[in-house]
Structures are given as structure tokens and as C-alpha cells.
Amino acid sequence: MYYGKRSLLARVKIWGVLSVIITGFFAGYWGYSIFGDKTLPVPEPASQVQKPAEAPERPALTIIKPSPRPEPPADIPLRPSPAPVPDQPSPQPERPVKPAADGLWLHVVKSEYKMYLYNGKRLERTYDIAVGANGGQKRKVGDSRTPTGSFTVQQVQSSASWTYDFKDGNGPTPGAYGPWFIRLKTPGWSGIGIHGTHDPSSIGTMITQGCVRMYNHELQELKTRVFKGMKVVISE
């Protein structure tokens, strides 16, 4: 009997504790629902969450190249023009003429209008000649100067049929070179030689474009003694 009372009392206590717990839970939930803080922010749906503002794009860098340096006008020289070269070269002392050790050779002296035929050191013949219209050493093509120096005979050509136009209005002149043209090997210049003439009165003057001119009959004689490689010295 006593055992039964104790069992009933324990059950009452357990149900009492559970009732207090349940009553307290529902009372707390009801109080929170009524008096809870309605000021708390309501989280927005995930779809309305704003994305952080993107950083503004930087403007593209513009590389400014330096402007090219303007070219000077074509008619303005970049540097002063060189002083004009005088037409007449500065006089220089001539080297003494070195005669051939032996054999025939020719020496033209422009200032004397003479050409000398030597055999070694022995003079054998003198010829009258005409030389370039301008004095001094030859400087350029067409300057009408007879070059000075030591040269050789390159070849002997028949020039009886050659003509030349002296630009005097008479057209090409036949026989302008005489019967023969003794072509000289003159490094740096071409067309220099010893030849005859259609105008015997020109001998003894400065009249040619650079060649040595002589009488036709004397040229005929000289031709028999000239050979390829023969030494020819021309001096002032």
C-alpha cells in the first residue's frame, strides 16, 4: 500500500515538471511572437541582394609619338657649299724629265710648241706642234687641256677617213685628224693622241681640245718610227 502511494506521488511530480516545462515553452513562444523586436531588418531575398559597384574602367592610354623633325626645304643646303675650285691649278714645280735609257722616245714641250724625238739621250728630230687651247694640267673632260706626265703609245690608227664637227656651222670636216692617229695611254683620260690636221696654219698655237697636232707630212715620217709601248713625256 505504501509502495502504491509512493508510485503515485512520483508520477504526479514528473507530470508536474513536464507541465511546467511545456507551459513555459508555449508562454515564451507566445510572448516572443507578440512583443518581439519588430525593428530588426528583414533580410532581403537573395535575388535582390545588390552587387558591389564595379570600379570604373580606366581610360585607354594614348601614346603620343613625337612629331617627326621637319625636313628643310630642298632649296636650302644642309651645309655651306664648297668654295669653287679655281679653273687654273696652282703652279707646281715640274719633275725633271727622265729620258729613256735607250731606244726612241718623244718629249712634248707645250710652252715651246715643239716635240722632240730622242734616241736615248741623243736628239734626232724636232717637230712643230699645236696643243690644247687652255694651259695647265688637264682637270676634267672637255677642258681643252693637254695632260702632262709620262705616257706610252697605245696604238697607231689610220684616221684618213675620220671627220670632226668643229661647231662652226660647216658641219663635219674631213681630214680633221690627218692620215694617222697615234693614241696615247693616259690613265684617267681617253681620246688623247698625236695626229695630223686639215689646217696647217694652226700649228704653233693653243687650239686643240687636248691632243697634240702636227703637220701631216711630218706625221707620215714619225709614224715609221713609232711603236706600241714607246715612251712619250709631255711637260709644260
**Rounded to an integer, what distance in angstroms lies between the CA atom of residue 221 and that of residue 139?**
32
**Rounded to an integer, what distance in angstroms lies between the CA atom of residue 9 and that of residue 23?**
21
pLDDT of residue 28: 64
Q: What are phi and psi of 107, to 5 degrees?
A: -130, 115
What's the chain's length in residues?
Answer: 236
CA-to-CA separations, 153 to 72, 187, 229, in angstroms, rounded: 52, 12, 5
pLDDT of residue 49: 47
Which among 202, 227, 228 is positioned nearest to 215, based on CA atoms?
202
**Rounded to an integer, what distance in angstroms lies between the CA atom of residue 97 and that of residue 109?**
11
pLDDT of residue 41: 47
pLDDT of residue 70: 45
**Rounded to an integer, what distance in angstroms lies between the CA atom of residue 155 and that of residue 181?**
8
* Fold annotation for 104-235: L,D-transpeptidase catalytic domain-like (2.40.440)
Catalytic residues, by residue number, are 195, 211
pLDDT of residue 205: 98
Chain centre distance of CA 35: 100
Contact 233, 107 (CB under 8 A): yes
Contact 163, 174 (CB under 8 A): yes
Contact 184, 232 (CB under 8 A): yes
Q: Give the predicted TM-score (pTM) of the model.
A: 0.60
| Per-residue tens of pLDDT for the chain, all 236 residues | 545 555 667 776 777 777 777 777 666 665 555 555 444 444 444 445 455 556 556 655 555 555 555 444 433 333 333 444 334 343 444 455 666 667 999 999 999 999 999 999 999 999 999 999 999 999 999 999 999 999 999 999 999 999 999 988 989 999 999 999 999 999 999 999 999 999 999 999 999 999 999 999 999 999 999 999 999 999 99
